Structure 1
């Protein structure tokens, strides 16, 4: 048992278990593995690289640092302007826009509600296309649809009748939704393509910030802009940023999906090779160094990176791939991550404090620190479940936020406005911590299926939000906002109790899922 994690009975390597940190015990217990594995550079030279980079200079893990960071910068920027901005930008102007267009308030709410349904329903198809043709075409298509949708929304305010204006605006909002899905569901998976395990924490937390916590900032800017300049200006201001983001994706976000062979050696695989006397399965440290590889493969030029597609990555039938997405719901770990980062902490509904969300970025380094610390205690061996203990911190913050918020709302007073703002920020902070922890766990434990799992998470989150929007106002009015916060607090604490069995039995589940997929689809569908 590794630090409370039950070992599976099956004598096979679990995906998500790697040598990560050099310790004195690592050198003694795994001398062969230690000598063959590539390490980080500089201050990170005690970190074993996971996954192990190939000898191909076109491997995204071996891109120059500037190339990976610029690609991530545009990924981060576009998550803001295509995923975070369109949904909540008109929320503060709901009543005023209903008066301006002479439509019921519910009709204006549908401008965002239908957009969420589009985003959720489109998810499986984006997943299939990404599996078959890579992530770059999906990001480019998302940019194009986002720009077109915003342009249509602008045109909606130039119609000769209010009825036509509303219909055009609705069409534009739905097309904007086509531009949201890819960035909301594939971005975290792209981090796993370009960055090693020990580099993912902060970057994942930043994307969580954009997707779960920036709606409060967008609402503040949107409300002020609408008040002084009108609704049309909101979309006019957004359009040039989206065009800039589109150009950035075209020029600086190459295809990150990579046909990676099983070149990430695990403890058991290297041990088996050692017993068989096979010594040339990997390039030796003398021949290669992280970032400096000997390869006969030619490096792609900047112009070659601009290709829209880079071939087919999966030859399977589209309908089979569609069905496989929902098969992941049989995985207890997938149910768990949906619970802690899609249902209980739905970012679009429960964010209200930008400060809390920004502070939540610390969850990334916190997850990385915890993973390294626990790996050292575990003789240098990393288990994917080492990402979960950070959720304990999220639970404490959620409890303080929800229950204090409930008390403050049940005992209203002018001086408690600041306290309510703090509670809202605490909930937002907990959202970031839990979502970052869950996202990193999926990247580490089920990397080969991460795109499909994040698609499911995005779908469920959007559908849940849409369902909440149909009844939550009436529920709060009937029972009172304080009662509503109390209910959410209780449900949240009960839901996060699942973190305990997930940590204890997670490795057993990983092996079980690995065996199921191996039997169902063969080795090609499973990366250890």
Structure 2
């Protein structure tokens, strides 16, 4: 069995080096070496001690699932004009095919994540894959607009878990110092693949019709589901508060710690038969009320509420542009062909090529530098500076998008294309900051607080995107976009007081919410 990537790194063994319980402030570096957080154990079920290759297979499967979920739920923009042609006289209602999925993705998080929290991640993932395929077949075979909308809503319930469950399981199988770049690889793989599908979607629909667009992804999801059943291990693992701070689990002496590390490097062989079990942990359904209690507490914590609003605002701008760019570019004076719309969304490939080194690896480099300057003490606020560039780019380009949409005769189509893809880049920035900052700030509340962000932003973006057509008719594309980017800009500027007062808020929130028990 291949060794896990935990060699040559030292485990902290002095409890005095860590921060307050559950507040995310921990000793990440000691004597120039990175501390493993959470502390790995000798338990063969510990996902942190899995081999490198199995972790990468896990990450690729989760990324592939998220890719198809994103494309099916929110990637219809480039083929929407073709679908509209199937429902003459029902154009206004047909917009529900674009707007309702974000709402139901949020609802899906609220329903499924408590079961992932109490019954394990693997069974929820497998059920979601089955439901995604069944709902996709429903959409493919729908005989009316109402049936099509209903099928997409059910499909979005299954797709929604990819938003909160995926980053949660990734942070469970990787250490704190790896999370930024590993979440970055997850988003990179997800969106590179999605960008390719956006390009080919118009050709698929032109050749096969939009029903077989669903058919293609139904087949792909079935294949992903098979690989998931075979290789997706259970990442739910109970850890103590001390382990989440990087403190020793078994002993407190350095010599004893070294023995633990050596034992973890050569773990007891795992049984593939046990990995195939749908339930690898004993369900604790009685804890579902606790999950919802913690979720409600998340709405009352200023930093989590801010992350929710920031993500929701940027997602709303992106959904707004995703729902309108095709109609703008195919109309005079631009006159784009239907097939060329896929290449517009191919700009997201460029987003990912910039995103991975800048926001993923850049995030880990920033926290390593700031942590070293802070005598090795890591603060989750060190994740915040990476949001500066994507927000500035997104706000400026979105303003040009609104102007070009309102006055196309004055602008090049590049204003629409660049503005649309820049808004997606800004959302990626808000997304990775929201995920990593929430998980690092409240490691004992990662699951419910991720649901607050992912489900809540779905509701916010649904409200913003559902108001798209009325807003355009009332104030036009230009002022609608100005209003939305002002909201995004103000929320982004709030990162400054969060950076300053975040540590105090985390200590207060940890004490108030009682975040000192073992994580699930």
What is the match of residue 56 of structure 2? 69
Residue of structure 2 aligned with 1:145, choices 128, 131, 137: 131
Q: CA offsets, 1:457-504, max 9 Å, x none?
A: 222222223223332123124323222232222222111121111111
| Count of residue pairs the alignment pairs up | 476
What is the match of residue 27 of structure 1? none
- 470-479 vs 208-217, which deviates more? 208-217
Instruction: Give, in angstroms, the shift of residue 104 of structure 1.
Output: 0.4
CA distance, structure 1, for counterparts of residue 349 and residue 409 of structure 2: 23
What is the match of residue 47 of structure 1? 34
Distance 1:101 1:398, change over 3 A: closer
CA distance, structure 2, for counterparts of residue 214 and residue 488 of structure 1: 29
Q: What do you get for the CA RMSD once the two structures are aligned? A: 3.0
Distance 1:107 1:212, change over 3 A: farther
- Could you tell me whether the CA contact under 8 Å between 1:155 and 1:168 is conserved in 2? no
**Which structure 2 residues correspond to residues 240-251 of structure 1 after superposition, within 5 A?**
240-251=219-230
- Could you tell me whether the CA contact under 8 Å between 2:67 and 2:191 is conserved in 1? no
Residue of structure 2 aligned with 1:59, choices 38, 46, 59: 46
Say whether residues 1:287 and 2:234 are aligned partners.
no
CA distance, structure 2, for counterparts of residue 429 and residue 327 of structure 1: 30
Instruction: Give, in angstroms, the shift of residue 232 of structure 1.
Output: 1.5
Q: CA offsets, 1:272-303, max 9 Å, x none?
A: x9xxxx964677353143784466xx443111
Q: CA offsets, 1:235-283, max 9 Å, x none?
A: 121121101110111111111110123342759x78xx9xxxx964677
From the CA coordinates, give the structure whose radius of gyration is larger: 1
What is the match of residue 157 of structure 2? 178
Distance 1:90 1:410, change over 3 A: closer
Say whether residues 1:238 and 2:217 are aligned partners.
yes
What is the match of residue 384 of structure 2? 388
Distance 1:497 1:436, change over 3 A: same
What is the match of residue 15 of structure 2? none
Distance 1:414 1:193, change over 3 A: same
SS of 1:254's equivalent? coil
What is the match of residue 524 of structure 1? 517
Residue of structure 1 aligned with 2:243, choices 236, 243, 264: 264
CA distance, structure 2, for counterparts of residue 290 and residue 104 of structure 1: 66
- Could you tell me whether the CA contact under 8 Å between 1:119 and 1:462 is conserved in 2? yes
SS of 1:284's equivalent? helix
CA distance, structure 1, for counterparts of residue 262 and residue 311 of structure 2: 34
Instruction: Give, in angstroms, the shift of residue 370 of structure 1.
Output: 0.4
CA distance, structure 1, for counterparts of residue 34 and residue 475 of structure 2: 53
SS of 2:26's equivalent? strand
What is the match of residue 201 of structure 1? 180
CA distance, structure 2, for counterparts of residue 285 and residue 525 of structure 1: 21
CA distance, structure 2, for counterparts of residue 239 and residue 56 of structure 1: 38
**Which structure 2 residues correspond to residues 271-282 of structure 1 after superposition, within 5 A?**
280=252
CA distance, structure 2, for counterparts of residue 423 and residue 137 of structure 1: 40
- 122-131 vs 282-291, which deviates more? 282-291
When normalised by structure 2's length, the TM-score is 0.82
- Could you tell me whether the CA contact under 8 Å between 1:201 and 1:365 is conserved in 2? yes
When normalised by structure 1's length, the TM-score is 0.81
In structure 2, the gaps of 5 or more residues are 1-18, 323-344
Say whether residues 1:80 and 2:67 are aligned partners.
yes
Instruction: Give, in angstroms, the shift of residue 93 of structure 1.
Output: 4.0
SS of 1:50's equivalent? coil
Distance 1:127 1:383, change over 3 A: same
**Which structure 2 residues correspond to residues 85-124 of structure 1 after superposition, within 5 A?**
85-102=71-88, 104-124=90-110
- Could you tell me whether the CA contact under 8 Å between 1:147 and 1:242 is conserved in 2? yes
Q: CA offsets, 1:294-314, max 9 Å, x none?
A: 66xx44311110110123364
SS of 1:100's equivalent? coil
CA distance, structure 1, for counterparts of residue 293 and residue 300 of structure 2: 12
Instruction: Give, in angstroms, the shift of residue 89 of structure 1.
Output: 4.6
- Could you tell me whether the CA contact under 8 Å between 2:133 and 2:222 is conserved in 1? yes
Q: CA offsets, 1:323-349, max 9 Å, x none?
A: 432221011111111122222344544
SS of 1:57's equivalent? coil
Distance 1:103 1:76, change over 3 A: same
